Amino acid sequence: MSQGKPRDPRKEQFWRRMLRQWQRSGLSVRAFCERHGLSQPSFYAWRRTLADRDAQAVTFVPVEVVPESLPLPTSAAGLELLLAGGRVLRIGPAFDAPTLRRLLALLEEGRP
């Protein structure tokens, strides 16, 4: 059963663009909103909404399965993620899943 209005992708794109611009601007939320003619309550509401959506987003990535016959590296108890731009993220065996989700959302936010 649908709840409320359906999402408008153009609004979401607009607010994501505004949030990126604000982060790069170095301005306070108040100054940024005044400069761009935005409502501060709307700015804060969209910032919270998009952060919640990003935290809940699930993405699938390709995984390479290593045959058991190969010797495993000493860090085999953890994970190693190869990110865009040649970045590598190594995660130990006792990682905190919510923190990892937030980190991945931040890394994805910077993608073009």
Tens digit of pLDDT for each residue in 53-100? 888 877 777 777 776 665 555 555 577 777 777 777 778 777 777 887
52 with 15, same domain: the answer is yes
Domain assignment present for 3: no
Say yes or no to pLDDT of 35 above 90.
Answer: yes
49 with 14, same domain: the answer is yes
Domain assignment present for 72: no
45 with 14, same domain: the answer is yes
Domain assignment present for 71: no
13 with 49, same domain: the answer is yes
Domain assignment present for 39: yes
Of the candidate ranges 2-6, 20-24, 29-33, the one whose mean pLDDT is the lowest: 2-6
Average pLDDT for residues 16-33, to the nearest whole number? 95
Give the number of domains in the chain. Answer: 2
Domain assignment present for 62: no
Contacts of residue 102, Cβ cutoff 8 Å, sequence gap at least 6: 55
Strands 88-91 and 79-82, by their bridges, are: antiparallel
Domain assignment present for 92: yes
Q: Torsion angle, CA of 36/41/45/46, rounded to 10 degrees?
A: -10
Kindly state the tokens that stand for 36.
């761009």
Can you give the pLDDT at residue 41?
96
Q: What is the pTM of this model?
A: 0.49
Say yes or no to pLDDT of 112 above 60.
Answer: no
Sign, CA torsion 26/38/18/103: positive
Domain assignment present for 108: yes
- Domain of 14, in residue numbers: 8-56
Q: Which of 45-49, 54-58, 104-108 has the highest mean pLDDT?
A: 45-49
51 with 87, same domain: the answer is no
Is residue 25 helix, strand or coil? helix
